[in-house]
Structure 1
Amino acid sequence: MSTMTALTATRARRGAASPARVIRLGMLRIAYEVRSYFRVGDTVFFTFLFPVLMLTIFSVAFGDADFGRDASGQTLGAADYYLSAMLAAGILLSGVQNLAVDIAMEKSDGTLKRLAGSPLPVASYFLGKIGQVFVTAALQAALILLLAVVAFGVSLPSDPGRWITFGWVFVLGVATSAVLGIGLSGLPRSGKSATAVIIPIVLILQFISGVYLVFSQLPEWLQNVASVFPLKWMAQGMRHVFLPDGFAAMEQSGDWNLPGIAIALSVWLVAGLIAARLTFRWIRKDS
């Protein structure tokens, strides 16, 4: 049997896979992807632990700084501000940076080419990748919250509505970041260049989106640029959850604008799905 015939037969078997089989293999794939993720030290440091480290550094370095004051005179401390910022950054790192680099490496080292000749359904592969992002992002968020409370005395909201907002912003943000990561995985020409291509994109977004710098203190034109991209909206959603209502006046629109957050992230989710569909290949085009 020729290679082309074998690939055709494999794809036919994939197409005939039942939903139950796709989900079962996807669950197994999630477990495999999570184990693989935590075995790679540099990935764990630069995507999982990096926001935790940055929260620690900023909270210690700027512990006495005033990051804002509402109409009642209430001040905002470093740990309070950077908790929201690092939760949003962690979602971006877990989805965009992690998947874009990881999938580009799998294309380069032949992993995807081998999977193309296996009976693994395509949907199970993507379920594994996206599921891994949800698991690691949830663990990361829990670690960031624990650090903020225990080490820096941040008070978490008691209003259930705030936690409901946290839930949908987190889920929508993770889904959006994951599909964007899949879409961007086709951008690097090789696995070796993946980090050099992807990390600057992620880093610039963090600087202009209110992660490292207070968003309200950025020039208005830069705020407008950041508003085009999803990280700004994820950070704004997290600020709504963890900051007092009085600080909504510091936002670009003067309020938390939850409908705008939902719309912006949904648009980017659809854009990411389209990009992933157009750019993803089991093998590199030059193979």
Structure 2
Amino acid sequence: MSTSPSTATVTTSTAGPKSSLGSSLGRNLTLGFSRIKYEVRAYFRQGDSVFFTFLFPVVMLTIFSVAFSEQNFGTDDEPLTAAGFYLPGMLAAGLLLSGLQNMAIDIAMERSDGTLKRFAGTPLPIMSYFIGKIGQVFVTGVLQAALVMLVASIAFGVELPSEPSKWLTFAWVFALGVTTSAVLGIALSALPRSGKSATAVVIPIALVLQFISGVYLGFSMLPVWLQNFASIFPLKWMAQGMREVFLPASFEVMEQSESWNLPGVALATGLWLVLGLIVTRLTFRWIRKDS
């Protein structure tokens, strides 16, 4: 039976947009993944970024481990060194620094020096740009976490978990945390008015979050009202997830709900990821409207 011209036309017009959409998505992904290598190289060429985001958790872990080397953070039956106590917080802080702090400052600088304006005149899709940025945060975050754990284990004798379930928890807390931090960094990049003011705007935010989220101070040591306030933000939950992985089970009762509450970790961090995506969608522009 022959096919009428009208039927052939309908078939072609129906398949065309689907094929075009698939081709466009594939191109965006290809461009995005190709930019990850470029973004990683550019990141490690910036000495200040490498120190204040990549090496900073290692430096802080070393300082606390040496300063409190004689103190037992556990019990007589279950001793815990300073390095073991601070390791989860430093891993969580690394996610925040590599994602939120570095991303917000980096994009604000690129907007200020005209890099984003030049991108606006090229065929580079915004999706590909985001894939490159988030991929860079993920790669550097993995390297940073590995370095922090390596220093803790070799230099300070911290015994890392041996149970596969612990490493599975670490994997999803890390992946969710680093993605959320990167997306929030992109959203926060719209706040600084210029590249020069980016560090003055972003770093205090990241620093305050670290102090109230159980990174430098035991979370249970904070006043209840401050614990409740810190629970609004994702870093507290990322640190709590990391504590479940690396601290003894007896420390669970010291948490706010007297449990590790991993579903709460996933829910709170996931909500911040969604919020970051919404804010990014509403605010991100290659060129500021007021520029």
Instruction: Give the aligned partner of residue 32 of structure 1.
Output: 38
Instruction: Give me the whole-angstrom Cα distance separating, in 2, the residues matched to 1:285 and 1:77.
Output: 52
Query: Secondary structure at the residue paired with 1:228?
Result: coil
1:4 maps to none
Shift of 1:219: 0.8
TM-score, normalisation: structure 1? 0.92
CA distance in 2, matches of 1:279, 1:81: 39
Alignment deviations for residues 183-203 of structure 1 (CA, whole Å, 9 cap, x no partner):
000000000000000000000
Q: Show the counterpart of 1:115.
A: 119
Partner of 2:97: helix, strand, or coil?
helix
Give the SS at the match of 2:196.
Answer: coil
**Residue of structure 2 in register with 1:76 after alignment:** 80
User: Which of 86, 89, 99 is 2:90 aligned to?
Assistant: 86
- Residue 11 (structure 1) aligns with: none
Q: Which residue of 1 aligns with 2:29?
A: 23
Could you tell me whether the CA contact under 8 Å between 1:55 and 1:82 is conserved in 2? yes
Residue 42 (structure 1) aligns with: 48
**Residue of structure 1 in register with 2:7 after alignment:** none
Q: Secondary structure at the match of 1:29?
A: helix
2:59 is aligned to 53
Alignment of 1:185-204 (within 5 A): 185-204=189-208
Which among 215, 223, 228 is matched to residue 232 of structure 2?
Answer: 228
Residue number in structure 2 paired with 1:277: 281
Shift of 1:66: 2.9
TM-superposed deviation, 1:15? 8.4
Please tell me the residue identity of whatever aligns with 1:100.
A
TM-superposed CA distance for 1:68, in Å, is 4.1
CA deviation vs aligned residue, 1:229-249 (integer Å, no higher than 9, x gap):
000000000000001111101
Q: How does 1:204-283 map to 2 (within 5 A)?
A: 204-283=208-287
The amino acid of 1:255's aligned partner reads S
Query: TM-score, with normalisation over the residues of structure 2?
Result: 0.91
CA contact (8 A) 1:17 1:121 kept: no
**Count of residue pairs the alignment pairs up:** 272
The CA distance in 1 between the partners of 2:289 and 2:106, in whole Å, is 17
2:151 is the counterpart of 1:158:
no
Larger Rg: 2
Deviations 1:80-130 (A, max 9, x none): 111101000000000000100000001100000000110111111000000
Counterpart CA distance in 2 for 1:228 and 1:281 is 28
Which amino acid counterpart does residue 212 of structure 1 have in structure 2?
Y
> For residues 108 and 17 of structure 1, what CA distance do their matches in structure 2 show?
33
Identical columns (%): 71
* Residues 67 and 81, structure 1, Cα contact 8 Å, conserved in 2: yes
Equivalent position to 2:103, from 70, 91, 99: 99
Unaligned runs of 5+ in 2: 1-19
Q: Which amino acid aligns with 1:204?
A: V
Give the counterpart letter for 1:82 in structure 2.
Answer: Y
Q: Does 1:168 align with 2:172?
A: yes
